[in-house]
Each structure stands twice: as C-alpha cells, then as structure tokens.
Amino acid sequence: MKTVYIKDTTLRDGSHAISHQFMPKDISEIALSLEDAGADIISVGHGDGLGGSSLQYGLGAITDLQYVNAAASVLNKAKLQVLLLPGIGTINDLKLAKKHGANVAGISTHITEADIAEQHIKVARDMGMFTIGYLIMCHMESTEKLTEQALLMESYGAEVIYITDSAGAFLPHEVKQRVCALKNNLSIPVGFHAHNNLGLAIANSLVAIKEGATYIDSSLMGFGAGAGNCSTEMLLAVLKKMEIPTNMDLYKTIDAGNQVLLPLLKEKGVSLPRFTSDTLMLGYAGVYSSFLIHVKKAAEQFDVDSRDVLVELGNRKAVGGQEDWIIQVAHEISLNSLS
Amino acid sequence: MIGESRKMKNKVKVAILGPGNIGTDLMFKITKSRYMELEYVVGIQETEGLKLARKREIKTTSNGIKDILGINDIKIVFDATSAKAHSMHADLLGAAGIFTIDLTPAAIGAYCVPSINFDYAILNDDNVNMVTCGGQATIPIVAAINSVADVSYAEIVASLSSKSAGPGTRQNIDEFTQTTKKAIEKIAGADLAKAIIILNPAEPPILMKNTIYTIVKKPDIEIIKESVKKMVAQINEYVPGYRVVMGPILSVDKITTMIEVEGSGDFLPSYSGNLDIMTCAAVQVGEKYASKLLGVKK
C-alpha cells in the first residue's frame, strides 16, 4: 500500500473555528508539534487564505505574513502551505508568502471555475512551489464536471488535485466515484479534504484512500470549520490498524492535540467543533462549512431560525466565499416573518 | 428618442475595438445615441459580432486597429478588447488624437465613474478608464456614504454569474480586484479599500450582486440612507436596472449595503448586469464627450 501523505490544516481550516484569532505564538507552537509528529505538509493562514482577512470573512488578528513567519521560523522538515483563492487573494500575496518561507501553494476555486486559477497555478510552479489545486464544494456538481475541471488544473501545472468536500455533504459512494474518476483520468496524485458535518469525515477519507487518494487533509482533534475536519489523530489510528503507512507518529500526534492545541484553546475560551443542529444542517443542505459562525451571528442579529437560513442558502446555491448572502437571507426571512 | 436622434444632423463618428460580448452590446447602445454615430467595428478576426455589425450597415474590419487610425472623422474609440491589447492601442490612439474610452482593466487613463467624477474636467484627458464592473456598481455607493459619513475603510464583494464572466475577467482576475480597490481609494474617497470577486455558476444565472461594507467615522444612518438614495437615483439615469436590495444597515460603525444590477438586455442577457453597467457607463461618457464636440448646450 502506498504511503498516505498527511496535510494538517489545524492552522488554516482551524482558523475558521477560532474566528481567525490565532496568534504568532500559537502558530509556532502548533506547527512545531506537528512537525515533530511527522506531518508532511502544514497549512497555515486565515481560513479564507491569503487576503482573507476582511469584513466579509472576519478580520484576522494577524497579517498573512505573520502567519507564514510564525510557522517558517520553527519548521525545518515539514513543508509549509499557504492557501490562495483567486478573487480574494492575488499573485502578489503569493509571491510575498513564498519570500517569507511558504513552499507549498494551495490554489483553490469553486468546482466549476478552475480557469480563474490558471495564472496563479503557473506562477506558483514558476516560483518552484509545490502546487496543489483544490476544487471546492465538489458535492454541487457531477463526477464528469469534476474530472473536466481537474484536468484543466492539471494542464496549468498543478501537481496534486484535491477533491474538497467543503460542505461535508458527500456520502461515501459519491467520494468513491469521484476519486475513481480522477485516478483514471489524471496522471498526478489525488487528495481529499473532508468535513465532519454528517459524521462521515473518517469514513469518506478512508474510501478516498482505498480508491487511490494519497493526500489527505486533517486537523488536530478535527479543529476546523463546521463540525470540523477529519481528525488527524483518529485518521492515524485507523490507518495504523489497517496497516496503511504514513509519516506520522500516533502518540506524538495525540500529544500535539492534547498538550498543545487543547490548553491553547482553553486559555482562549474556544471550544472544539462538535455536532450541533446547525453543523448537521450544513452537511444536509450542502452549505459551505465556514458559513457556520456567520449564520449564527446573522440569525441572532435578525432574530430568525439559523436552520431556515442554512436551508435557504442551500436552495440559492451559495458558493464558498459568499458570506454576504447570509446577511441578506437572514434579513429577508425576518421581513417575511413580520409580514 | 428615435425621432430626436434622426433630427441631429451632425453626429460624432465613433468606433468600437473588440466585437465580443461587450463590444456588441455597445454597438446596440450606440446606435440609439443622440450624439454618436457608429462608423466602424474593429476586430482581429471574423466574428459573429462583426457579422451583426454589417447587418446593421456598420463598416467592419478584421485587420485590427490600423485600419481606422487614418480615418479623420473618427473622434471617439471604445476599447472593449483586453488590458494587454489596450496598452498597445492607447499609444496609437493618443498619437492619432482620438478620445479613448477604455473598458478593459488596463487603467492607463483616469478612472471614470459617471455618477462620481463625470464632468468636463475628465473630458480634458484623451483616455478614460471605466474601472471594472464591480467598481462601476460599488464606487458610487462608497462615495455617497463617504460624502456624509467619512469612510475609513470600504470593502466590496461582487458576485457574478459564471456565465457573465468572460475570458478577459477569468484570465486576469487579480486585475479586477486590484483595479477596483485602487479606484475605490482614489475616487470614492475611502482611506483604504479591498475588493473581492466571486463567480457563482447557479442556473438560472444570478443577477450581478454587490455587497458594500464601509467603516465610517460619522455613523448617522438616516443621513447615510438619504445620501445613498439620491445616488441610486442618479445611477438610474444611465443604468435603469440598478437597485438597492438591502440596507444601508448600521451595526456600530459598519454600514452594509447590497445592490443588484439587472441588465437592460440590449444584446447581453439581463443577468449580465455586470457587463451592462460597464457599457451604460461608457456610452454615457461618450455622449458627454460628443455633445461637447458638437457644442450642445445642456
């Protein structure tokens, strides 16, 4: 069985779960513990990637470069990834991140929009960064569409393509179909990024691995948007029992979660993502996981049921990044319930 | 309107570069103009747009810009090609003394948003840039809020239907966000700005929607609402499908306003409000320049 590479996203997807308030010290400590545990790639930054700090997605406590510097200053072995969503961040942001020590570029678009990333992928490759293409909200489109868009990203120079289940809405058989299609059509490795909104993060990641995915995103204790990601510890334990090799050490990873992440969250009064009626609705209605906290806020501001907001966002086919639609939907529901 | 347009004997002759979606929509709009007469549509290859132009008895060429540079009558050129092409066209048109309205994000000339800095001063330049669709849609709102509340930070999120975002936007999406940001800072008066663009592939296609967040120093919501209302009325004079769908809503010092643009459906489908607002604004500038040349008094 091929080695599965683990890309830990505690410090990037987890940024959503802490409303983008990680501090440089937190980043250095967690990054160091992850490297020590053997993580292949460590992803850092604002949840919405470079340039993500905004009124739309939440202002970050620190700048993009502070994120990168805090991780780069402690890492020797593990690769350091920054995420870039064209339309939010720019090539200039990526160049700066590279200059400060990022050596992996995650370039991400909605599942149907791969062509907006052509320049970004090419520049990342030209700069010598390991370049990963992410297609997000994959549950919204067919396997054929995914294959078409993944081939585009491959043609621009992406070295891995990730199937991203941003809403945690995929069922195992759907993951199987998609990984299988990409394995048959691409000549580069396939990755999978899960969210646990339907409680399927581990199951879906296993299906992906079984079908040939060799890159898996996970985070310590599942710390990430929505009901969280696939937990790195749990994934390692399961893979170990299945005798699927990784470069990570189970005990050290458990320690990273228990002794570094947990005390840090406790100190900040932040709880781990867990199953709630809202996280379930994210997966059920197929809504972008990082909408969760924004939906809660808007539901309070306009005094409406957050589940109604989530279902309506699903109906309107909101895509990742459209956090502003949450406000409008909540506003409209509040007006309708008055009339 | 049509009767009036026929009465005007000496119209100013104009040309369009780039017979794509925007160029063709411009063609439809300019044929209705009171002061402009469309003389030429210029492409670099034979296209559907050129065919449509010939059907309307407009001269066409597929040899590029050089075919029109020697024509003395042409006083205004609308450039609807690409940023890269425009940077070559700008010098040639400048040397030929032709007033150029640039619809690409090249941003060589001064930014122009008709409801904001639309006066004869800008028409003293020989090249004006129409910013971006997101800029045309949001800059007036930021400016309206800034004029009464002093905006320290403005952030805009433009959601477009995937279908309405052409190859130009897709290949240069950074130019869109950067040009929009700079123009908000320069002509809307925000101290600092940020622009985000999102493409949404939903079917049927969504109308262009823009969210405008501003952080203000003087958060008097009633005065702000009034100022935004006046501005929307001004924009409606040249973009009828422009409307506020939410707000302005105040939360501490943050004002949130959402607007939507429905296209007039001249050539492009009505969901392409993002393209329509560009062509409407460009034609408005052309009209103003042409009326100045003709010595028309307001």
Same domain assignment for residues B257 and B138: yes
Kindly report the number of other CB atoms within 10 A of residue B121's CB atom.
9
Q: Give the C-alpha separation, B144 to B113, whole Å.
A: 13
Same domain assignment for residues B197 and B243: yes
Query: Which residue range forms the structural domain that includes residue B258?
Result: 133-271
Query: Sorting pLDDT into bands at 50, 70 and 90, what band is B122?
Result: low
Q: Give the C-alpha separation, A63 to A71, whole Å.
A: 13
> Which of B157, B176, B258 lies nearest to residue A56, judging by beta carbons?
B157
Same domain assignment for residues B232 and B121: no
Catalytic residues of A: 16
Kindly report the number of other CB atoms within 10 A of residue A67's CB atom.
30
Q: Give the C-alpha separation, B225 to A315, whole Å.
A: 31
Q: Where are the beta strands (DSSP E) in chain A?
A: 5-11, 41-44, 79-84, 104-110, 130-136, 160-164, 190-193, 215-218
Q: Which residues in chain B touch residue A314, judged by CB atoms under 8 angstroms apart?
A: none
pLDDT in tens, A153-177: 999 999 999 999 999 999 999 999 9
**Which run of H or of E encompasses A117?**
none
Same domain assignment for residues B227 and B197: yes
Q: Which residue on chain B is closest to A116 by alpha carbon?
A: B170
With 0-12 CB in 10 A as exposed, 13-18 as middle and 19+ as buried, what is B141?
buried
Cβ atoms of A158 and A119 within 8 Å: the answer is no
pLDDT at residue B2 greater than cutoff 50: no
pLDDT at residue B120 greater than cutoff 70: no
- What is the mean predicted confidence (pLDDT) over B61-70? 88
Cβ atoms of A94 and A84 within 8 Å: the answer is yes
Annotate A224-235 with b (16+ C-beta within 10 A) or e (fewer): bbbbbbbbbbbb
Q: Which residue on chain B is closest to A87 by alpha carbon?
A: B197
CA distance A120 to chain B (A): 9
Q: What is the DSSP letter of B207?
A: P
CA distance A318 to chain B (A): 7
Class of domain A5-268: alpha beta
C-beta atoms of B177 and A327 within 8 A: no
Q: What is the largest CA-CA distance in chain B?
A: 59
Tokens standing for B77? 């050129």
CB-based contacts of A43, cutoff 8 Å, min separation 6: A7, A8, A9, A11, A12, A13, A81, A82, A83, A104, A106, A217
- What is the mean predicted confidence (pLDDT) over B89-94? 92
Tokens standing for A70? 């805090």
Q: Give the C-alpha separation, A134 to A152, whole Å.
A: 12
pLDDT in tens, B19-32: 988 899 999 999 99
Q: SS3 of B149, please? A: helix
Q: What is the pLDDT of residue B253?
A: 94
Same domain assignment for residues B83 and B123: yes
CA distance B84 to chain A (A): 15
Q: SS3 of A333, please? A: helix
Q: SS3 of B254, please? A: strand
pLDDT at residue B228 greater than cutoff 80: yes
Q: What is the DSSP letter of B11?
A: P
Same domain assignment for residues B104 and B174: no
Please report, for residues A11, A84, A144, the alpha-carbon distance to residue A216 in angstroms, rounded to integers and kept in the order given: 15, 18, 22
Q: What is the pLDDT of residue B6?
A: 46
AA identity, residue B172: N
Same domain assignment for residues B140 and B116: no
Residues of chain A predicted below pLDDT 50: none
Same domain assignment for residues B126 and B137: no
Q: Give the C-alpha separation, A107 to A49, whole Å.
A: 9
Tokens standing for A18? 């802490």
Q: Which residue on chain B is closest to A111 by alpha carbon?
A: B201
Cβ atoms of B53 and B27 within 8 Å: the answer is yes
pLDDT at residue B248 greater than cutoff 90: yes
Query: Sorting pLDDT into bands at 50, 70 and 90, what band is B67?
Result: confident
Q: Which residues in chain A touch residue B211, judged by CB atoms under 8 angstroms apart?
A: 56, 324, 327
ipTM score of the complex? Answer: 0.94
Q: What is the DSSP letter of B185?
A: I
Q: What is the pLDDT of residue A339?
A: 53
Annotate A257-282 with b (16+ C-beta within 10 A) or e (fewer): beebbeebbeeeebebbeeeebbbbb
Kindly report the number of other CB atoms within 10 A of residue A111's CB atom.
25
Q: What is the largest CA-CA distance in chain A?
A: 61
CA angle A124, A62, B150 (to 5 degrees): 105
Q: What is the pLDDT of residue B121?
A: 56
Q: Which residue on chain A is closest to B203 by alpha carbon?
A: A317
Q: SS3 of B252, please? A: coil
C-beta atoms of B162 and A92 within 8 A: no
Between residues B271 and A216, the one the model is more confident about? A216
Distance of CA B224 to the CA centre of its chain: 25
CA distance A178 to chain B (A): 20
Same domain assignment for residues B171 and B71: no
With 0-12 CB in 10 A as exposed, 13-18 as middle and 19+ as buried, what is A255?
middle
Please report, for residues A23, A79, A98, the alpha-carbon distance to residue A72 in angstroms, rounded to integers and kept in the order given: 14, 9, 10
**Which run of H or of E encompasses A72?**
helix A64-72
A273-277 long-range contacts, CB within 8 A, separation 24+: A273/A17, A273/A196, A273/A222, A273/A223, A273/A224, A273/A225, A273/A226, A273/A227, A273/A228, A274/A227, A274/A228, A275/A196, A275/A199, A275/A227, A276/A227, A277/A307
pLDDT in tens, B272-288: 888 899 999 999 999 98
C-beta atoms of B174 and A90 within 8 A: yes
**How many inter-chain contacts (A to B, CB under 8 Å) are there?**
82
Q: Bridge partners of A161?
A: A133, A190
C-beta atoms of A56 and B159 within 8 A: no
- What is the mean predicted confidence (pLDDT) over B63-72? 86
CA distance A290 to chain B (A): 16
Q: What is the pLDDT of residue B187?
A: 93
pLDDT at residue B8 greater than cutoff 60: no
**Which run of H or of E encompasses B200?**
strand B192-200
Tokens standing for A196? 């646990």
Q: SS3 of A258, please? A: helix
Q: Which residues of A touch B (CB under 8 A)?
A: 51, 54-56, 86-88, 90-92, 110, 112-113, 115-116, 118-119, 301, 316-319, 321-322, 324-325, 327-328, 331
Q: Which residue on chain B is closest to A114 by alpha carbon?
A: B170
Task: Tell me which fold the domain A277-337 belongs to.
Answer: Helicase, Ruva Protein; domain 3 (1.10.8)
Would you kindly state where each structural domain of chain A is located, as residue ranges? 5-268, 277-337
Q: Chain-wide mean pLDDT for chain B?
A: 90
pLDDT at residue B3 greater than cutoff 60: no
CB-based contacts of A309, cutoff 8 Å, min separation 6: A295, A298, A299, A326, A329, A330, A333
CA distance B101 to chain A (A): 25
pLDDT in tens, A248-304: 999 999 999 999 999 999 999 999 998 999 999 999 999 999 999 899 999 999 999
Cβ atoms of B118 and B55 within 8 Å: the answer is no
AA identity, residue B219: P
Same domain assignment for residues B248 and B139: yes
Q: Which residues in chain A touch residue B201, judged by CB atoms under 8 angstroms apart?
A: 110, 112-113, 317, 319
C-beta atoms of A328 and B201 within 8 A: no
pLDDT in tens, B165-221: 888 788 889 989 999 999 999 999 999 999 999 999 998 899 999 999 999 999 899
Same domain assignment for residues B146 and B190: yes
Same domain assignment for residues B199 and B257: yes
> Which of A87, A113, A318 lies nearest to residue B196, judging by beta carbons?
A87
Q: Tell me how many domains chain B contains.
A: 2
Q: Which residues of B touch A (CB under 8 A)?
A: 153, 155, 157, 159, 162, 170-174, 176-178, 194, 196-202, 209, 211, 213, 215, 245-246, 249, 251, 254, 256, 258
Residue of B133, B137, B165, B187 marked active site: B133
Q: Which residue on chain B is closest to A94 by alpha carbon?
A: B174
> Which of A54, A112, A316 lies nearest to residue B196, judging by beta carbons?
A54
C-beta atoms of A322 and B159 within 8 A: yes
Of B242, B151, B204, B173, the C-alpha closest to A51 is B173
CATH number of the structural domain spanning residue B126: 3.40.50.720
